[in-house]
Chain A
Amino acid sequence: MVAQGIAEIFYYLGFVTVSTFGLIIILFLIVSPRDPKPTPEKRAAFESGQIAVGRGRTRFIIQYYPYLLLFVVYDVVAMFLFAWALNLRSLGFSGTLPVIVFMVVLLIPLAYALHLSNRPENW
């Protein structure tokens, strides 16, 4: 039953992919003008009009990394809840109780983690 519509979406995505890349390749080869001798200034990175200094991929500070760590853990929770929500009516309260316990177990550490992440000195 899950296989319903899978062929159609792949036909559609295939068609969109082929036509997008085909169009861009045709545009690039035929329509778009070319500069025969681009100067080094022209080929340099734009960087909003200033002359680029140093490497483009410089060292950077990952701010807000506590949120990224939280995201890795809690993004999965949504999938578990999707499975529960689909069968909500047939599960009854006995099937919902484990979900409530699961959520409470997850939300207490989440609250503590957010308490820590929201402090600017931890960024």
Chain B
Amino acid sequence: MTMAIVTSPLFFKIVFFPGLTSLAIIAALITWLDRKITARVQLRIGPQYVSPVGGILQAFADLIKLVFKELMIPAKADKFFFVAAPLIGMILAGGLIGLIPFSPEFQIANLEVGLPVFLAFVTLSPTMVLLAGWSANSKYPFIGGLRSLFQQTAYEIPLWLSAIGVVMMAGSFDLLKIVQAQSSGWFILPQALGALIFLITITAEMERIPFDLPEAEPEVIMGWQAEYSGFLFMAAQGASFIKLYAFSALFATIYLGGFLGPGPLPALFWTMLKTLVIIVVIILLRGTFGRVRIDQLLRYGWTVLLGLAIVNIAITYIIIQGIPAI
């Protein structure tokens, strides 16, 4: 009985790929990639000593260092939520990977409502940020948590509305069927506007520069992460990199044809290649843009992004049905 569970394909998928083990390794490698690319953009060298190849093991060295640090919890903090909030955030981020079809075989759960479930998981994570900021009982984390809440109102509706364009084209919520619907052409061509809005809103959701207001270093000193130390800080940071991986994979799935690709190369190769391209693009944004202000983000999100998302739905409707004869 136990052997039957261990040798089943679902066990392999949950434990090794695309599940937990590969998730941790890939998140650590993305941390290295983030530091290295940002360093190169800023004409620095970045990590280089930890391994023969460009310091690629730097992230693992940092992990080991953080694990052996003392965990300091402020005396006035709400201890349970202070510990639980970043962990739940990390679990929510890791759960996103379970919905992505890396190839027809390597998908943990093929939900019929995959896309809305993915976005619903995403919706919960700013709540965890607010919880973390509130429980720390300190002023900067609290401001960071509130900023996360405001930021969510700015990007949430454009994020959902830009994903609607894909649902209209594919006629399905199922991520596997959305990929199969792209066999005649990737959705990034008819959905160019939607893809752009989606890229901007997922950058805001991941709290990366130019939208990293909840953890802006010069303004609120790491914001909601200010009181975390040791492996709780590692969990808070890790969740952001796992989300970067999950969102890039989702973008590759719904706009860039997912695992579809020419030639004898395996389907898995194409998904990972496209995911890597999107990860690099999002990291390059960090090197090239300055941070927006919170009121700029709110105004821009509610007027320009929301307006363009509705325009995108209208354009998609005309592409599918033709101009309606009234």
Measuring CB to CB, which residues of chain A are less than 8 angstroms from any residue of chain B? 1-2, 4-6, 8-9, 11-13, 15-17, 19-21, 24, 27-28, 31-35, 38, 40, 42-48, 52, 55-58, 60, 62-64, 67-68, 70-71, 74-75, 77-79, 81-82, 85-86, 88-89, 93, 96, 103, 107, 114, 117-118, 123
Q: Is B197 an interface residue (CB 8 A)?
A: no
Count chain B residues whose beta carbon lies closer than 8 angstroms to a beta carbon of A.
75
CB-based contact A67/B146 at 8 Å: no
Contact pick for A70, options B14, B73, B171, B302, CB 8 Å: B302
Q: Give the CA-CA distance A8 to B320 in the complex, in Å.
A: 34
Q: Give the CA-CA distance A10 to B74 in the complex, in Å.
A: 34
Secondary structure type dominating chain B contacts? helix
CB-based contact B87/A68 at 8 Å: no
Q: Is B258 an interface residue (CB 8 A)?
A: no
Measuring CB to CB, which residues of chain B are less than 8 angstroms from any residue of chain A? 10, 14-15, 19-20, 67-77, 83, 87, 90-91, 94-95, 98-99, 108-114, 116-117, 134, 136-140, 142-143, 146, 149-150, 152-154, 156-157, 160-161, 164, 167-168, 171-173, 221, 226-227, 230-231, 235, 294-295, 298-299, 302-303, 310, 313, 317, 320-321, 324
Residues of A within 8 A of B317 (CB): 88, 96
CB-based contact B173/A86 at 8 Å: yes
Residues of A within 8 A of B15 (CB): 15
Q: Give the CA-CA distance A63 to B95 in the complex, in Å.
A: 33
Contact pick for B10, options A11, A21, A33, A117, CB 8 Å: A11
Q: List 5 A-B contacts (CB under 8 A).
A: A1-B112, A24-B231, A47-B138, A48-B221, A75-B156
Which 6 A-B pairs rank lowest in CB-CB distance, beginning with the nearest?
Answer: A56-B137, A78-B160, A9-B109, A8-B109, A45-B138, A71-B153
CB-based contact B157/A16 at 8 Å: no
Secondary structure type dominating chain A contacts? helix
Minimum CB distance partner of A115 in chain B:
B303
CB-based contact A64/B160 at 8 Å: no
Minimum CB distance partner of A45 in chain B:
B138
CB-based contact B113/A16 at 8 Å: no
CB-based contact B91/A20 at 8 Å: yes
Contact pick for B302, options A17, A67, A81, CB 8 Å: A67
